[in-house]
Amino acid sequence: MLDGGVPELELGAIAIALRVKGETFDEMIGFMSASNDRLHSLQIPAGRFRPVVIPSYNGARKGVNLTPLLAMLLRRYSIPVLIHGLIEGYGRVTTAQVFREFGLIPCASQSQAQQSLDESGLAYVPLPVISPGLNTQIALRSRLGLRNSAHSLVKMLDPFKGQGLLLAAATHPDYLDSMREVLGALGAHALLLRGTEGEPFANPRRRPRIEYLHDGVTDTLFEAEHDSLKALPQLPESCDARTTADWMRRVLAGEITLPAPIANQLACCLYGSGYASLVSEKGDVRDQHSGRDGSELVRAIRNSGDEIFDFHDIISLQVDAMFGPVRNDDRLIRICLVTYRH
């Protein structure tokens, strides 16, 4: 199926049959194994942080697509970011379309993607570049009117061969359960959450549960919020690519506050990539970027106004909003984010 050996008619029939029956765990493991064997891999850029892999295959129709913003925020911390996905999104605003407004053009080849990662630490790679076989199956949706197994598989692809931090998202609970089971069996490093319209960013109005899969275990970093935020974030009125990009520029410039759920997700990404440290109940944390005590830096930011530190440069939030309840081994811990002004 991935090598082009199955005619389109039969391929469509198989896709519909699996859609009706539902994939078993063993089938998904087999599909992932075959997909990974044929996946065009990339090398991790030089550095000490785990790259973040962001599959973007849904786009946005009802609200703003914040996937590009999350990627650009991660780059502020020198975290390599690879986004793979679709160029067009069946009438939705795709991540590729928003990136075009920033002048970021999708990579046309594997070598171009590697060069972009090495030079700028950020690359957008269309699915045909890394997995032509899965792209053929994804394309069936426009003709069949149904999603198929490939739509779940692409959201679990890590071109770094398991060395990246994967942002894995699904809309329906059943698919989240399936992804958790499959990624856990594969030993993946991943953040799992209910996506926003299927995109892997936290709902800016109500944070979903965010789980961290690593080393064969699953930790819940943030529990889901069941009530909307008391103060709703300032979001753009329109979700078209140009309006979205203009709004993101204002967020990056500090003119608009980043929605707290995205800040929480950013914290999880920085932790999973190795940038940030966990604050234990005792509060003894060390920022891996600076090697200094995190709580000491927070106090310095709060009290001294020292220009060496700029918490506003993190994500335009007050320090208190940067902390959230995290559960790990039945202990409440916190994620501490500290950065230097560049």
Domains of the chain: 8-272 (3.40.1030.10), 277-336 (no CATH)
Q: Give mean pLDDT, residues 168-177.
A: 89
- The DSSP bridge pattern shows strands 326-328 and 331-336 to be antiparallel
Residue 228 — very low, low, confident or very high, per pLDDT cuts 50/70/90? low
d(CA 13, CA 64): 35
| Distance between CA atoms of residues 13 and 109, nearest Å | 31
| CA distances for 1 relative to 6, 22, 37, angstroms | 5, 18, 13
| CB proximity list for 318: less than 8 A, separation 6 or greater | none
> What pLDDT, on a 0 to 100 scale, did the predictor assign at position 322?
38
Where on the phi/psi map is residue 161: left (φ > 0), alpha (ψ -120 to 50), or beta? left
Q: What is the pLDDT of residue 77?
A: 84
Of 195 and 19, the structure prediction assigns the larger pLDDT to 195
Between 331 and 323, name the one with better pLDDT: 323
**Model pTM score:** 0.80
Contact call for residues 183 and 170 (beta carbons, < 8 A): no
Could you report the per-residue pLDDT of 288-324, keeping only the tens digit for each? 433 433 343 333 333 333 332 233 333 333 333 333 3
Res. 165 pLDDT band, cuts 50 70 90 = very high
7's CB contacts (< 8 A; 6+ apart) are: none
Looking at 273-342, list the stretches that DSSP marks H as alpha helix, in order from N- to C-terminal side. Answer: 294-303, 312-315
Answer whether residue 334 shows pLDDT above 60: no
Strand order, beta sheet including 165-170: 122-126, 81-85, 52-56, 165-170, 190-194, 210-214, 217-222
Q: Does residue 243 or residue 10 have the better pLDDT?
A: 243
pLDDT over 80 (residue 221):
yes
Q: What integer is the mean pLDDT of 331-336?
A: 33
- Calpha distance 199→67 (Å, rounded): 7
- The whole-number pLDDT of residue 142 equals 66
Q: What is the structure's pLDDT at 193?
A: 96
What is the phi/psi pair of residue 165, to 5°? -100, 110
| Cα 267 from chain centre | 12
Question: According to the model, what pLDDT value does residue 285 have?
Answer: 37
**Cα 228 off chain centre by:** 22
93-139 confidence digits (pLDDT tens): 999 999 999 999 999 999 999 999 999 999 999 999 999 988 888 88
**Residue 81 φ then ψ, to 5°:** -130, 125
